[in-house]
Structure 1
Amino acid sequence: MKKLMFAVVSSLLALTVSACGTGTDQAASTSGQSGAKKYVFGTDATYPPFEFEKDGKYVGIDIDLINAIAKEEGFEVEIKPMDFKGIIPAVQAKQLDGAIAGISITDKRKEILDFSEPYYQAGLSLVVREDNTTINGEADLAGKTIAIKKGTTGATFADELGKKYGATVKYFDDSPSMFQEVQNGNADVTIEDYPVISYKIAVDPASKLKIVGDRLNGDHYGIAVLKGNKELQDKLNSGLKKLKENGKYDEIINTYLSTKK
């Protein structure tokens, strides 16, 4: 009887220890249906042409790119859409394995994340209403109102311009909201990545927006992973290299943009 009780207690202790080892601080990666490792990537699904929803599916340069990398490297991908401002904290909290969301590689972000090799050169541009004739560059921002999306490099740039020229900065959770603020005349200008706003103007002439002045910087996008996750970082870099060599990278870019920037 004592042996039986000892065996039952031992089994319960083993289950308790096992359960304690599955806390929320573990990485999001699991095994997929095929037995291949599955990684969860965060994205901002309101950011065409890099990621957006169409006919109930997530599409765009970033979505196609991460799926193509996964195919080359033999892993599975789960896409988790969320507000951009929450993506980097979610990677840090190990709720995501990585993020692909038009994320500019900056020195500040490199302190808390690791990145793949750059996969796209973007750069920020000033955007105004089509009928705006008073703003032609950053020197015209004195006393103006800038609409910007939270958590972006554009927001950092807007803060700097606001201080430099005495402009007011208004913050929004997504790109459509900040564009709407300019369209409605409630803000004078917004700041957006050049390829994103170029795409929007091309596919939505009714937006009545235009780009003014030169690009403000030359940001490069990278795929973000948890600091120290060299295994995933190496897979991403290996996959990117293969896609550029076999022509698939150019095919993906040209599906959404007429020329590679």
Structure 2
Amino acid sequence: MRGLARLLSAVLVVLVAACSGKDGGKEIKVAVSPASPPNLYEENGQTKGLDLDIFEGYCKARGCTLKITAYDWQGMLGAVVSKQADVAFSGISITDQRKQVMDFSKPYMENTWNLVSLTSRNIRFDDLAEMKKYSIGYPRGMAYTDFIQKELEPKGIYQVSQVKMYPSYNEVLADLQNGNLDLAFLDGTVASVYRKKLPIQDSYVFTGFDRFGFAFPKGSPLRDDFDHYLNDELGQQGLQAIIDKWMN
């Protein structure tokens, strides 16, 4: 066991060294989709959010610098898969399908999926069979597609072909407000922010199966060191403090 511990320590030292050169620190290429508050969004020309706070803490501990590039949702995930980015974060759901082409950090946050409508429409239902009455929209590349294909299509509840796809949540919510969409599929974290700004309400909430993670290219050693930071340096108490700061 001591030999294994020494080996793991040596690996971590190498990883830390790889992220802190004499030139002032390794540059980490970050892909984001800055339309997912509170996890990642733009305000007054600045990128900010819960996920950024977490990763900036890691980079401060390792002496790294971040080069952030904004994409639409699908482009962000594609940048990780193609290794154009070293990491991606914007409240990304961990799914089996995504794990086939990218690696994830340990889960850092639980999430719900919310179907929301305008309060003036007052659409509410408990039976999922009611979904087929309504048009639904969400950004391309979201985990909702896999969920609909695996869980809802076989039961005849809803088809992916019925969904209206958009570049980001901003366009989804604009169409919802303009009356071109009945329901918007939002992450619960996103819904909690927009409920304070827009006249929207939950029509149906899916719970108990979605968790967020930071996405890395397959085989990335950066993922292993980041998990070490989350587990052993930031810790659950530090992580929860960041989550509470942005969620409350």
**Would you say same fold, with TM above 0.5?**
yes
Residue 137 of structure 2 corresponds to 147
Secondary structure of the structure 1 residue equivalent to 2:92: coil
- Structure 2 CA distance for partners of 1:93 and 1:196, relative to 1, 3 Å: same
Task: State, as a whole percentage, how many aligned pairs show the same letter.
Answer: 28
Q: Distance in 1 between matches of 2:44 and 2:172?
A: 24
Letter in 1 for 2:176: V
Structure 1: 5+ residue stretches without partners: 1-28
Aligned 8 A contact 1:45 1:52 in 2 = yes
Aligned 8 A contact 2:176 2:182 in 1 = yes
Aligned 8 A contact 1:158 1:191 in 2 = no
The structure where strand makes up a greater share of residues is 2
Displacement of 1:142 after TM fit?
Answer: 2.0
Displacement of 1:215 after TM fit?
Answer: 2.1
Q: Structure 2 length as normaliser, TM-score?
A: 0.82
Q: Distance in 2 between matches of 1:77 and 1:213?
A: 38
Residue 165 of structure 1 corresponds to 157
Structure 2: 5+ residue stretches without partners: 1-17
Q: Distance in 2 between matches of 1:101 and 1:256?
A: 14
Residue 53 of structure 1 corresponds to 42
Residue 242 of structure 2 corresponds to 252
Letter in 2 for 1:172: Y
Secondary structure of the structure 2 residue equivalent to 1:36: coil
Secondary structure of the structure 1 residue equivalent to 2:78: helix
Give 2:211's match in structure 1, choosing from 193, 197, 220. 220
Q: How many residues align?
A: 225
2:57 aligned with 1:68, yes or no? yes
CA RMSD of aligned residues (A): 2.3
* Pairs within 5 Å for 1:1-261: 34-137=23-126, 138-158=128-148, 161=152, 164-165=156-157, 168-202=162-196, 204=197, 207-229=198-220, 231-241=221-231, 242-244=233-235, 247-258=237-248
**1:180-222 residue CA offsets vs partner (Å, 9 max, x unmatched):** 22222211111111111012112x1xx1110123325521111
Q: Distance in 2 between matches of 1:74 and 1:220?
A: 28
- Structure 2 CA distance for partners of 1:125 and 1:37, relative to 1, 3 Å: same
Displacement of 1:166 after TM fit?
Answer: 5.0
Secondary structure of the structure 2 residue equivalent to 1:223: strand
